[in-house]
Amino acid sequence: MIDLNRSLITRQHVVDLLPIMGLSPEEEQRLLALHYPVDFAVAAAAFESVGIEMDTLVDRMGGSP
């Protein structure tokens, strides 16, 4: 199991996930507006704010919830 809680998330990580997330352009811009790199918890909260659940995010990042 990958412990993503200790991971730093880069802007490139988010850019790579955007095509499979099905977000609106406005939601994508909200995610890209973060000051990267950010802790996983910050990225997770940002994704949750646009309707992406933690389990979905972890799965798409290659981890196991």
User: What pLDDT digit, counting tens, does each position of 25-46 carry?
Assistant: 999 999 999 999 999 889 989 9
Q: Of residues 33 and 2, which shows the higher confidence score? A: 33
Candidates 52, 34, 43; CA nearest to 7 is 43
Rounded Cα distance, 57 and 60, in Å? 5
Give the tokens for residue 23.
Answer: 């977000």
Q: How confident is the model at residue 1 (pLDDT cuts 50, 70, 90)?
A: very low
Entry pTM: 0.77
pLDDT tens string 52-62: 987 877 776 66
Neighbours of 6 (CB within 10 A): 8
Q: Is the dihedral of CA 19, 13, 61, 42 positive or negative?
A: negative
What pLDDT score was predicted for residue 20?
86
